[in-house]
């Protein structure tokens, strides 16, 4: 009797759980139900993300890591039976960073938090030297050549120090108003100083320092958050000396020592391999359409990243989202009506190079594009999709969204016709020629600010920042949208709406233009 009662309770729990799980489905479509089962209940996002971020790591354009990530995608798609290939779009400077040690050795010893900027040269073993800072007062008649003799044999600091490395929200909530105002004034003076020095006085300051015999260049690009700083490229090509970024806190330390004539010395050892021009690729996977193979639903995310951390949320999450969406589609919708294709783009961080090149090389995809879904805004939930200025996009996106479970759809704000906000990602490569390309966006307020401050291009963009409850649902949502767009009996029209007013001009915004697409390192103009 006790066993019978236990079984009844067990079956009741299962029934209640099943009803709770399925009652929010707005459709009886078995494909949608199966997608939830495969994508949410049996997600592979953690397994995929752990390998990409922890084993392969950062994926700078031209690096062996990016090439390894592309090979991993080929192997992964191949194991699922998904057609996949690499397409070369150009070449880039090959660069591999090895060990980096940056140590203060006088007036005391302390290891510093530092990164090399991308494509920086290394050192020939450990190099020691004193520190000198660019002058903080730059008069209008400042002649940089008169100061250059002081840099020979020294490490040169080229950024002003931050007056505080405490985030703005902490200051505003805890400090006195006059303190906040005075610190803001100092920060504004620093920005003005940097602008004048680099733009008006000596834009080519890096090469001037190189020629003057400096040991290397040191700067800090604070992101505005606790313990975070940006690590990108140097914007200075063909340097012969290392270019190092320090954390906000450590940069302030060495700057104060130099400013107070306390004889600071650094020892830097930077291992770098310069690999010459190496081929660059996009990875393209697809499920070929059975009825309309020459019409396309395109999933889009860039694979490359900067190297300050492991590129987890920029754009590892986008990469895993589209990879997992294709796994879901292969398992639940292997014979789509239209061709469903995914582009894992290279070179996004240097101007959308991979996706721009793909658009240029594949006019048939542009002509046959039903819809593109791009993701490149960090982790967290998809909460906003705008119509990107297409007059009739609303009726299609609403119809597609109406088919997904309410757990996913009720949190999404649809904005029509849309103002083509956040253009600096791969949807622009197709939007700029009038093809329907949509960005799957996160929250506009605190989530976006947090991503910009703590993960994007920074030293804290690591696996632990990924929110997998959101990522698995995002990937499932992408698969459902791709399915709905593929099955839609109609093509998405390309009629353009009048864009919102540009507050800077007082007239409607112009349609976004296609960015240039340099295909070699030599063509790229930073």
Cβ–Cβ < 8 Å for 448, 396: no
pLDDT band at 19 (very low <50, low <70, confident <90, very high): very low
Number of domains composing the chain:
2
Would you say residue 22 has pLDDT above 50?
no
Would you say residue 308 has pLDDT above 80?
yes
Q: Assess if residue 125 is contained within a domain.
A: yes
Burial 151-161 (b: 16+ CB within 10 A, else e): beebbbbbbbb
Average pLDDT rounded to a whole number, residues 453-465: 92
The whole-angstrom separation of Cα 202 and Cα 117 is 20
Would you say residue 419 has pLDDT above 50?
yes
Q: What angle do CA 59, 50, 477 make, to 5 degrees?
A: 90
Average pLDDT rounded to a whole number, residues 140-149: 73
Question: Do 172 and 130 sit in the same domain of this protein?
Answer: yes
Question: Do 48 and 150 sit in the same domain of this protein?
Answer: no
The whole-angstrom separation of Cα 356 and Cα 343 is 11
Cβ–Cβ < 8 Å for 244, 218: yes
Q: pLDDT per residue over 210-225, tens digit each?
A: 999 999 999 999 999 9
Q: Work out the number of other CB atoms within 10 angstroms of the CB of residue 380.
A: 20
The first and second tokens of residue 422, run together, are: 């956040």
Question: Do 414 and 483 sit in the same domain of this protein?
Answer: yes
Amino acid 377: pLDDT: 86
Question: Do 355 and 412 sit in the same domain of this protein?
Answer: yes
Cβ–Cβ < 8 Å for 175, 237: no
The whole-angstrom separation of Cα 520 and Cα 507 is 37
Strands (E), 83-126: 83-106, 110-111, 114-116
Range of the domain at 251: 108-263
Question: Do 287 and 219 sit in the same domain of this protein?
Answer: no
Q: What angle do CA 485, 490, 491 make, to 5 degrees?
A: 75
Please state the separation of Cα 314 from the chain's center in Å: 3
Amino acid 236: pLDDT: 80
Q: Assess if residue 74 is contained within a domain.
A: yes
- The 8-class DSSP code of residue 23 comes to T
Please state the separation of Cα 8 from the chain's center in Å: 51
Q: Assess if residue 149 is contained within a domain.
A: yes
Cβ–Cβ < 8 Å for 331, 519: no
Q: Assess if residue 235 is contained within a domain.
A: yes
Q: Assess if residue 79 is contained within a domain.
A: yes
Q: pLDDT per residue over 50-80, tens digit each?
A: 999 999 999 999 999 999 999 999 999 999 9
Amino acid 157: pLDDT: 94
Question: Do 124 and 243 sit in the same domain of this protein?
Answer: yes
Question: Do 250 and 286 sit in the same domain of this protein?
Answer: no
Q: pLDDT per residue over 488-526, tens digit each?
A: 999 999 999 999 988 888 899 999 999 888 999 999 987
Question: Do 358 and 283 sit in the same domain of this protein?
Answer: yes
The whole-angstrom separation of Cα 158 and Cα 193 is 11
pTM value is 0.93
pLDDT band at 13 (very low <50, low <70, confident <90, very high): very low
Question: Do 259 and 392 sit in the same domain of this protein?
Answer: no
Amino acid 451: pLDDT: 81
Question: Do 365 and 246 sit in the same domain of this protein?
Answer: no
Q: At which of 263, 294, 314 does a domain end?
A: 263
Cβ–Cβ < 8 Å for 86, 74: yes
Q: pLDDT per residue over 238-286, tens digit each?
A: 899 999 999 999 999 999 999 999 999 999 999 999 999 999 999 999 9
| 168: CATH | 3.50.30
Q: At which of 201, 233, 263 does a domain end?
A: 263
Please report how the helices 64-80 and 317-332 are oriented relative to each other, as an axis angle in degrees rounded to 10: 20
Amino acid 6: pLDDT: 44
Q: At which of 487, 502, 518 does a domain end?
A: 487
Q: Assess if residue 505 is contained within a domain.
A: no
Q: What angle do CA 75, 80, 84 make, to 5 degrees?
A: 55
Question: Do 443 and 330 sit in the same domain of this protein?
Answer: yes
| 72: CATH | 3.40.630.10
The whole-angstrom separation of Cα 32 and Cα 469 is 19
Question: Do 161 and 189 sit in the same domain of this protein?
Answer: yes
- What pairs with residue 269 in β-bridges? 101
Comparing 185-194, 338-347, 433-442, the range with the smallest average pLDDT is 185-194
276 vs 169: which has the higher pLDDT: 276
Q: What is the mean pLDDT of the chain?
A: 91
Q: Assess if residue 54 is contained within a domain.
A: yes
The first and second tokens of residue 208, run together, are: 């001037």
Q: CA gyration radius for the chain?
A: 26
pLDDT band at 192 (very low <50, low <70, confident <90, very high): confident
The whole-angstrom separation of Cα 436 and Cα 58 is 31
Average pLDDT rounded to a whole number, residues 329-357: 97
* Residue 108 burial by Cβ neighbours in a 10 Å radius (0-12, 13-18, 19+): exposed
Cβ–Cβ < 8 Å for 203, 432: no
Amino acid 136: pLDDT: 66
Please state the separation of Cα 478 from the chain's center in Å: 18
The whole-angstrom separation of Cα 50 and Cα 458 is 19
């Amino acid at each position: 009797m006790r066993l019978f009662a236990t079984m009844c309770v067990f079956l009741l729990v299962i029934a209640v759980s099943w009803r709770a799980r399925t009652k929010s489905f707005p459709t009886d479509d078995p494909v949608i139900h199966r997608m939830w089962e495969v994508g949410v209940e049996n997600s592979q996002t953690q397994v995929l993300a752990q390998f990409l971020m922890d084993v392969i790591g950062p994926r700078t354009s031209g690096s062996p890591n990016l090439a390894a990530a592309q090979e991993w995608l080929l192997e992964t798609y191949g194991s699922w039976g998904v057609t996949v290939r690499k397409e070369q779009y150009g070449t880039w400077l090959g660069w591999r960073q090895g060990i980096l040690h940056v140590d203060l050795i006088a007036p005391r010893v302390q290891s510093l938090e530092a990164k090399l900027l991308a494509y920086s040269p290394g050192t020939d073993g450990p190099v020691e030297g004193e520190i000198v800072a660019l002058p903080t007062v730059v008069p209008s008649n400042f002649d940089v050549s008169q100061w250059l003799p002081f840099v020979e044999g020294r490490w040169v600091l080229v950024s002003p120090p931050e007056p505080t490395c405490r985030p703005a929200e902490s200051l505003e909530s805890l400090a006195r108003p006059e303190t906040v105002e005075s610190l803001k004034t100092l920060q504004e003076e620093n920005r003005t100083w940097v602008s004048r020095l680099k733009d008006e006085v000596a834009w080519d300051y890096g090469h001037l320092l190189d020629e003057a015999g400096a040991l290397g260049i040191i700067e800090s690009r604070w992101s505005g958050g606790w313990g975070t700083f940006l690590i990108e490229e140097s914007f200075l090509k063909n340097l012969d000396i290392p270019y190092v970024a320090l954390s906000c806190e450590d940069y302030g330390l060495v700057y104060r020592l130099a400013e107070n004539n306390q004889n600071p010395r650094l020892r830097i050892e930077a291992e770098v391999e310069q690999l010459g021009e190496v081929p660059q690729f996009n990875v393209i996977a697809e499920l070929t359409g059975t009825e309309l193979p020459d019409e396309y639903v395109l999933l889009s995310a860039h694979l490359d990243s900067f190297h300050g951390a492991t590129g987890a949320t920029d754009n590892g999450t986008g990469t895993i989202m589209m990879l997992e969406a294709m796994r879901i589609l292969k398992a639940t919708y292997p014979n789509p009506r239209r061709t469903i294709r995914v582009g894992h783009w290279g070179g996004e961080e240097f101007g959308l190079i991979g996706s721009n090149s793909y658009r240029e090389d594949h006019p048939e995809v542009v002509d046959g594009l039903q819809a593109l879904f791009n993701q490149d805004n960090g982790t967290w939930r998809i909460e906003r999709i705008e119509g990107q200025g297409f007059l009739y996009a609303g009726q299609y996106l609403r119809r597609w969204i109406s088919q997904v479970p309410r757990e996913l759809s009720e949190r999404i704000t649809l904005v029509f016709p849309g103002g083509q906000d956040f253009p600096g990602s791969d949807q622009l490569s197709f939007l700029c020629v009038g093809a329907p390309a949509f960005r799957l966006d996160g929250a506009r307020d605190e989530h976006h600010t947090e991503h910009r401050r703590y993960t994007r291009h920074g030293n804290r963009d690591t696996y632990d920042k990924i929110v997998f409850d959101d990522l698995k649902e995002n990937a499932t949502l992408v698969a459902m949208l791709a399915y709905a767009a593929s099955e839609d009996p109609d093509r998405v029209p390309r009629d353009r709406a009048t864009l919102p007013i540009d507050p800077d001009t007082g007239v409607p915004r112009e349609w976004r233009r296609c960015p240039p697409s340099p295909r070699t390192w030599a063509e790229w103009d930073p």
